[in-house]
Amino acid sequence: MHYQEFLPETSLQDYIRYFWVLEDDTDNFSVKSFKIIPDGIPTLIFQEKPNLFFDMDAQAAPQLYIQGQSTKFTEHRVMGNFRIIGVYLQPTALKTIFNVDAFEFNDQKVPLEDIITEPILQQLINAVSLKQKIKIISNFLLKHISKVERNTEKATIASLFLQNGKTLKETQIEMNLSERSLERLIKQYVGMPPKMFSRIMRFQSGLNILRQADFNSLTEIAYQNEYFDQSHYIREFKGFTGTNPERFMLNANEKLLNFPLWDASK
């Protein structure tokens, strides 16, 4: 498999983290299984061929869709070669680009044609080069950025506080918001209650340490990320991945973070 990342143009960096491309051009037609792990980030995805990825209920993912915030792990399967282009959005981007309440997209794959009427899918299919495809997506997103959202900056700052490990109480104090106001703001812009978003950010912090192998024990990771103990950390880890940390490191092949190729044979 091949993986590439591309930074967005400057005018999009408040809304997009980066573009990514995941490709398998081998002639191996075995079924591959991928896990989707909650990471606090919605994604726009284009599959160069239709009916490539299927979920565990044998439902095909749309060819061009928005993957809303994930609050639980899921699995996708694909057979044969593929190329998919993804856009890792900022946590608040569903609201700030499409002016929709982010919680309406949670744990869903929403076809882009359900939100907009432009023929962007056909443009992407017709485009020859990867550079052209990224330019088409960039122009589309620039066109749709909302200009009227009053709370965009406030929501972005609050989400950054939570991503960087501030507690809910600290975020309320920093933002001068009541608990109820923070809940409403994060749910509308990010897609989930701040407590769930904070849990996912804490899980991701521990997962990054695990990936880097920069720890002496799981207990160290647990305390570093303010879990009660190792058992608490493993429970949370299993809730977001379906497995324990040791098994994850053994079975997961992460060319693309939080979308690992899963080898259950090990």
Give CA–CA dist 219/237, Å, rounded: 13
- Report pLDDT for 147: 60
Are residues 75 and 55 in contact, defined by beta-carbon separation less than 8 angstroms? yes
**Tens digit of pLDDT for each residue in 103-160?**
999 999 999 999 988 899 999 999 999 999 999 999 999 998 866 556 778 888 889 8
**Tens digit of pLDDT for each residue in 170-183?**
999 988 989 999 99
What are residue 64's DSSP bridge partners? 46
**Global pTM exceeds 0.75:** yes
Place of tokens 């919605």: 42
**Tens digit of pLDDT for each residue in 42-60?**
999 999 999 999 998 999 9
Given CA atoms 159, 165, 170, 173 in this order, what sign does their dihedral have?
negative
How do beta strands 53-55 and 74-79 pair? antiparallel
**Tens digit of pLDDT for each residue in 17-32?**
999 999 998 877 788 9
Our CA angle for 180, 182, 188, nearest 5°, is: 100
- Catalogue all structural domains in the chain, each as residue range(s) with its CATH number: 2-144 (2.60.120)
- Report pLDDT for 102: 95
Cα–Cα distances in Å, from 241 out to 119, 182, 221, 234?
Answer: 36, 27, 16, 10
- Report pLDDT for 149: 59
Are residues 64 and 52 in contact, defined by beta-carbon separation less than 8 angstroms? no
Are residues 15 and 145 in contact, defined by beta-carbon separation less than 8 angstroms? yes
